[in-house]
Structure 1
């Protein structure tokens, strides 16, 4: 063991004498939550949930003139999940969150391959899902072009079952255990193209994504791939105190369940105004198509598959966060304000009104109103965030979530507090 420590120290010290940069940093992020209506309506007879969990990450990067390697290890720990003394990890949560290498190909071209985070624009379709303690990553190969004002990313992914020796079992269509049907996040193949052009005060992005999901026959054997194709754009404008951002997405092909997708779409517009040095205001609207239920073999419901959906449609996650898939869609009108309370503190407030893009079987489509509050206090080297959300459900929300109004709790709310510490352990000078 002592030899191992000595070897590690020698490697770290030797980096100082090489033409390379080495960084070692981490993150310690405990969060406590009180859930009394989070994601779904809580019945009056049910007790509220309360738990504390922690995300711990250790990140290491090594960069030379010709390549960069990055490794991020993480563990998610629910307080009290492991029995004392017994040496086990109850939820098997330790994982390699990122592990990739970037090779410089000359000029503005490079390639990036391995496990990595995909995050573009406002994260509406591709996001790192940083709110979730586990985050989201992808195993893929990316070809990158980065100019002064133009960016292009082209990504390719192929996921395969492995045998006990770590190799392909047989063929290219086997996906019987690792990537079962019915999970929109576990794709078999993916190809995507992302383009972004910036001008003075304005930027425009274009995204085309093709996801292939493993299909299975009646015997449960892999039988080809269903493909969902998504096409979209993100526009961003800023002039003086005024800002505007718009999203437009269109989906076709086959849903991950095998249903045909018939013209699904997402449209969004957000306007912002900096009223003063201490106050920022916002107002916006988003329309997401839903299934009109006319036919059983197709759907018109849009799915923002890999987005950081917690950022949109309310922090209580009633829509598109493990729920509301292939449902009645959503019409979301919202207004927000961010108040700077001091040099290191701020308060964010947002009000959202929800209704279905289609009517429910009863004819209702009003779903309710949500209020979100987040207080942030920054300290030297760390920060604290405290949040509270309250839902005022309409009749349609009770019907949508399958909870009778008479049986539901009077208050549907959620509160949380999160400490964020990002220590920087070691950094060498960047190579010339």
Structure 2
């Protein structure tokens, strides 16, 4: 009798799979890093850092004509971090990276609800932050429209923290001061609209984002929400061997600390590309991010690319806008790149970036330095290998910006890494 039940169950599963699509895949991504000046200047008295960590993901998707569901389980393993034998996760790094359902509403409309990645255009303001092993996600609900050459997203988020462990507070209940007042990413509310229109060889998008942080009164009790509003556009053109992309964003409202008004903040960027041959691609670009030129502490003109994949921009050594450089002198970045195809499965990216402050530092300096980034990529059967090296040639302004005396900093500021990427497909 039990065998009959098992056979019946298997038949039902097979029938269900015949009417739907199920996928199961994963990712195994260890990365080794040598840090001798990554994100900030390393003092001469300090030793370079070296470590290995691994990202593991297991992704499952299920699709029918009526809905899709997707879940991504993730763990980050720092080699040697967990004590042996003791059955604990030392850094509590296991998480559900994505968990969402998308329901068809009829026609070209759908709704997507749950934990998901927001990634638009070149990821300048919204990106999945895939370079970081932990990535970036959002808990929200979206109404989506996908038509012929046109897409529209309307998203809403309202975040809570039932346990007071570092997120937005639960409603207006006073449960302590666990809210991170200096965390621009842990918002209380968010609304966004994204629209993109595509033509032959050209596309244009509009992004409107309003997100707010919980305010507190002198008794550490919730006292409303302050909001920061960002509006921007991304333009992309490609014809033959030539390509051009531009970003333009404006920002206004109240900074995440709740006490600083933002006005006149902006980001402007332009990138040109040219395919010189089948094996060489060239790039040239610049980006201007406004800095704070206000003499008062309650106002700022500094732009914050809050949820973007900032590692992709302004140098791979992450000196700017990757957990740093917030509400400061801004940035003017001029860069040139070349991508060489070394074979059917290998390539080399070389990029040079020159950094200056948008506003003068107290000494009057603006020059921050020049960075060289090199990335070698090689794909094999079923996996890929990436190796990178970056070197920073420091200018006087960088010492002042990072608060490190030139005499106290190492002569060489560099960073190197190697990463293996394996993406097994268990069921497809």
> Is the 2:177–2:220 Cα contact (8 Å) retained in structure 1?
no
> Is the 1:158–1:188 Cα contact (8 Å) retained in structure 2?
yes
Q: How does 1:123-142 map to 2 (within 5 A)?
A: 123-142=123-142
Residue of structure 2 equivalent to 1:221:
221
Residue of structure 2 equivalent to 1:56:
56
Residue of structure 2 equivalent to 1:430:
none
CA distance in 2, matches of 1:272, 1:359: 31
CA distance in 2, matches of 1:386, 1:15: 46
> Is the 1:15–1:22 Cα contact (8 Å) retained in structure 2?
no
Residue of structure 2 equivalent to 1:331:
332
> Is the 1:151–1:196 Cα contact (8 Å) retained in structure 2?
yes
> Is the 2:202–2:237 Cα contact (8 Å) retained in structure 1?
yes
**Residue by residue, what CA displacement relative to the aligned partner does 1:74-96 show, whole Å, maximum 9, x if unpaired?**
00000000111111100000000
Is the alpha carbon distance of 1:328 and 1:385 closer, same or farther for their aligned partners in structure 2, counting shifts above 3 Å?
A: same
> Is the 1:179–1:188 Cα contact (8 Å) retained in structure 2?
no
Choose 11-20 or 41-50, whichever is displaced more.
11-20
Secondary structure, counterpart of 2:411 in structure 1: coil
> Is the 1:368–1:393 Cα contact (8 Å) retained in structure 2?
yes
Q: How does 1:88-237 map to 2 (within 5 A)?
A: 88-162=88-162, 171-172=171-172, 179-237=179-237
> Is the 1:187–1:214 Cα contact (8 Å) retained in structure 2?
yes
Cα shift at 1:180: 2.8
Secondary structure, counterpart of 1:127 in structure 2: coil
Residue of structure 1 equivalent to 2:75:
75
Choose 84-93 or 216-225, whichever is displaced more.
216-225
**Residue by residue, what CA displacement relative to the aligned partner does 1:226-275 show, whole Å, maximum 9, x if unpaired?**
10000000000001000000000000010101210011000000000000
> Is the 1:231–1:249 Cα contact (8 Å) retained in structure 2?
yes
> Is the 1:309–1:321 Cα contact (8 Å) retained in structure 2?
yes
> Is the 2:249–2:268 Cα contact (8 Å) retained in structure 1?
yes
Cα shift at 1:220: 1.2
CA distance in 2, matches of 1:321, 1:256: 16
Choose 9-18 or 388-397, whichever is displaced more.
9-18
Residue of structure 1 equivalent to 2:360:
359
Does residue 370 in structure 1 map to residue 374 in structure 2? no
CA distance in 2, matches of 1:323, 1:237: 32
Question: Gapped runs of 5+ residues in structure 1?
Answer: 1-5, 428-432
Choose 20-29 or 210-219, whichever is displaced more.
210-219
Secondary structure, counterpart of 2:397 in structure 1: helix
Residue of structure 1 equivalent to 2:257:
257
Q: TM-score, normalised by structure 2?
A: 0.95
> Is the 2:169–2:175 Cα contact (8 Å) retained in structure 1?
no
Is the alpha carbon distance of 1:60 and 1:312 closer, same or farther for their aligned partners in structure 2, counting shifts above 3 Å?
A: same
Secondary structure, counterpart of 2:160 in structure 1: coil
Cα shift at 1:222: 1.0
**Residue by residue, what CA displacement relative to the aligned partner does 1:151-176 show, whole Å, maximum 9, x if unpaired?**
00000000012269xxx997457685
Is the alpha carbon distance of 1:423 and 1:90 closer, same or farther for their aligned partners in structure 2, counting shifts above 3 Å?
A: same
Cα shift at 1:219: 1.6
Is the alpha carbon distance of 1:306 and 1:178 closer, same or farther for their aligned partners in structure 2, counting shifts above 3 Å?
A: farther
Residue of structure 1 equivalent to 2:65:
65
**Residue by residue, what CA displacement relative to the aligned partner does 1:192-230 show, whole Å, maximum 9, x if unpaired?**
000000001000000000001111111211111110000
Residue of structure 2 equivalent to 1:412:
413
CA distance in 2, matches of 1:11, 1:351: 59
> Is the 2:250–2:265 Cα contact (8 Å) retained in structure 1?
yes
Is the alpha carbon distance of 1:176 and 1:196 closer, same or farther for their aligned partners in structure 2, counting shifts above 3 Å?
A: farther
Q: TM-score, normalised by structure 1?
A: 0.94
Does residue 341 in structure 1 map to residue 342 in structure 2? yes
Residue of structure 2 equivalent to 1:31:
31
Choose 177-186 or 335-344, whichever is displaced more.
177-186
Cα shift at 1:294: 1.6
> Is the 1:173–1:224 Cα contact (8 Å) retained in structure 2?
no
CA distance in 2, matches of 1:26, 1:221: 43
Q: What count of residue pairs does the alignment treat as equivalent? A: 419
CA distance in 1, matches of 2:33, 2:122: 26
Root-mean-square deviation (CA, aligned residues, Å) is 1.9
**Residue by residue, what CA displacement relative to the aligned partner does 1:76-126 show, whole Å, maximum 9, x if unpaired?**
000000111111100000000000000000110000000000000000000
Secondary structure, counterpart of 1:45 in structure 2: coil
Secondary structure, counterpart of 2:344 in structure 1: coil
